[in-house]
Structure 1
C-alpha cells in the first residue's frame, strides 16, 4: 500500500524471513559462521538458540541459500512435540522417501538406504531442525542415533538444531551427555542493541530502494524501547509506522509518529486479552447442542472474532449481558 508513496521496490519490513535481506549483526555473523564451520566439518551437531523473533530461522535460510546443491541435500523441518517414531517419519517424508510398511523399522531402513545412495554420489544430507525446543528428550536422542549412520567413519547425516532458549536446559539434562559430546559448536542469539537496531532499519530501507533519510534520529530510542531489539518486533512496528506515514502523508517520520503507533499497538494488545477471556467464558457456558445461528450468545462470540476493534467493544458489552442472562436461566452462580 505504501510502497509507491515512499518509492520502495517492495515492503522493507515483512515478517516472513528473506534470505536476500539478511542483516548480519555481530552475533548473527558468529552464528552463521558456526553453521558454516559445522558444514565444513561434516559431522557433529550445531545448536543455535535465542528468544522468539531474534532471527534463528533467517540464519537457517541464509545458510540454505549458500549451499551447493550438487554436494549437499538439505531439508528443514519445523517440529512440534513429536515423539521419536513421529520424528523419524517426518524426516523420511522431508526427504521424499517411500516405504512399503508404515513402521519405524521400515522408515529407518529407507533413511539408511537413501543416505548410502547419497554417499555413493559423493553427496551428503543435512537436516535443519527448527523449533527444536519442542522435541522431547527421547526425540533428540533419536537424532543422535541417526548420526551413527556412517561409512568408513564418516557420518552420512548431519543435523543442526535451532530453538528457543528453552532448548538449553533440555540439552543440559544429565541423561543427554552423549548428545552434548556430539555438539561441535553452539551459539545464543540475543536482541540487537540500539545502534544495531538503527543499522538494521536503515539497511532494510536501503534494500527496499529508499534514497534519502526517512526517520528522525530521535525515533530509534523509542523503537528500541518497544521492540527490545527483537527483529520481528522491529518489523511489526516499522510496518505500522510506514502505513501511518502513508495514510497521513508524512514524507518524514518523527518520534511523535513512533509514539502514536506504539500507543495504538499497546491498546490493541490490552483489549485483546479481555476479549479472548470473554469468548472463552461464553464458549464454556454455551450449550453444545445449540446451533450457532440459533444461539444469540454464540452469534456474538462469532461477531467478536470477525468485527473491527470498535465493534468488538460494543459487542463485548452486549455479550456480558447475554452471559448474565444465561447464568440466571441455567442457575449458574455469578462469580462476582
Structure 2
C-alpha cells in the first residue's frame, strides 16, 4: 500500500468518515457556526444539506467530538427510508423504551416519558436524522409533533436534519411541510471547497498520518485535483488516494498535474459518473434530400419470401406432429404390455420434476 511506501501511519484519503481528518473549510466553518447557534437555542429544527460526499457525516462526527455529552444526549438515526410508525419505534428504543405491542398513543406517551427521564438527569436530547430526503411527509410530521414535547417551558427534544440538496428544495416547496418549515431555526448548505482550499486540505490529511513532504505536490497537481473532484471532499479523497497509489507504484517523489490527469483518466474509465462522463456531441444534420416516393407494401399472399417462410414452418410443424405420434404409440404399447413397470421413487427434497430430455 502507498502508506507503507511513503512511511505514513495510516491512509489519509480513506472514504470512511473519520473525525481525525476534520478540515475546516469556509463552508464547514459556517456550518459549525450555524450548529452552535441552533444548539444554543435548544429547540426546533436545524437543517444541514449538501451534495453526496460534501462532508455531512464528517461534520456530525466532529460535532459529536466537540459537544458536552454531560449536558446533551445525542441520538443518531441513520436508516431513514422508513414510515412514521417505524420512526417512532426507533426513537423509543433509543430512549430505552420497549415499543413492542404499543399503539401509537401509548408509544408517544412512552417517548415523552423517556425524554422527561433524560431531562431529569440534567441533559437535553438531540435527535440527529441522516438522509432526511428519504423520509416521507408522514414521518417528518411525526418529528414535528415530537418537537412539541416540553417541560417548564423548555423543549425536551431538538432535531438536526441532514440531507441532500433535494431535501432543502422539498422543505421550501412543499405545502405539507409549512409547520415544520416555521420551526427551522438554522439552515446551511455545504458547498464544495474553493480551489485555494484544496492544497491545505491535502496537506492537512497527509500531516495527520505523519507526512513530511514525500511525495510533494506541485501547484498544477493541486489544480488538477480540484478540476477532477469539483471540490467535493469524497471525490477528492478518491482521486487523491488513486494518485498516491500510482505514485507509489512508480516510486515518484513529486506529483505533478500530468500524473493527476493520467490517474483521473483511468478513474473515469473505471468508474464513469455523470460529472465526468463526456457527453457526445450531436452529429451534424445531413443535408436535405428530395423525398423518396413511398415504397409499396408487398402483398403477403403473393410475396415469394413470405410464401417460402410459411412453407418452411408448415414442414417443421409436420415433422413435430409425426414425432409426437411416434412417442404416443410407444407409450400406449408400453402401458398395455405385460412387462413389469419400474418402481419410481421421488427424490428426497425435490419440489418438482425436471425434464430429463
TM range (shorter): 0.7 to 0.9
Measure the CA separation in 2 of the matches of 1:176 and 1:266: 40
Equivalent residues in 2 for 1:205-220 (5 A)?
205-212=206-213, 214-220=216-222
How far 1:94 moved relative to its partner?
Answer: 3.1
* 2:118 paired with 1:118: yes
How far 1:149 moved relative to its partner?
Answer: 0.6
Indicate the SS of the match to 2:267: helix
Q: What does residue 188 of structure 2 align with?
A: 187
Equivalent residues in 2 for 1:151-166 (5 A)?
151-166=151-166
Bigger fraction of residues in helix = 1
Alpha carbons 1:97, 1:110 under 8 Å: kept: yes
Alpha carbons 1:77, 1:129 under 8 Å: kept: yes
Measure the CA separation in 2 of the matches of 1:250 and 1:219: 13
Structure 2, unmatched stretches of 5+, are 274-357
From 244, 258, 261, the equivalent of 2:260 is 258
How far 1:244 moved relative to its partner?
Answer: 0.9
Alpha carbons 2:95, 2:115 under 8 Å: kept: no
RMSD: 1.6
Q: 1:84 to 1:62 in 2, by over 3 A?
A: same
Q: What does residue 6 of structure 1 align with?
A: 6
Cα offsets for 1:292-314 (capped at 9, x unmatched): xxxxxxxxxxxxxxxxxxxxxxx
Alpha carbons 1:79, 1:132 under 8 Å: kept: no
* 2:239 paired with 1:237: yes
Measure the CA separation in 1 of the matches of 2:177 and 2:61: 28
Cα offsets for 1:37-69 (capped at 9, x unmatched): 211111111101111111111111111111222
Equivalent residues in 2 for 1:1-336 (5 A)?
1-172=1-172, 173-212=174-213, 214-270=216-272
How far 1:227 moved relative to its partner?
Answer: 0.4
Measure the CA separation in 2 of the matches of 1:202 and 1:36: 27
Q: Across the two proteins, how many residue pairs are aligned to each other?
A: 271
Structure 1, unmatched stretches of 5+, are 272-336
How far 1:234 moved relative to its partner?
Answer: 0.3
Indicate the SS of the match to 1:166: helix
Alpha carbons 1:77, 1:94 under 8 Å: kept: no
How far 1:79 moved relative to its partner?
Answer: 3.4
Cα offsets for 1:157-198 (capped at 9, x unmatched): 110001000101221212322111111110011111111122
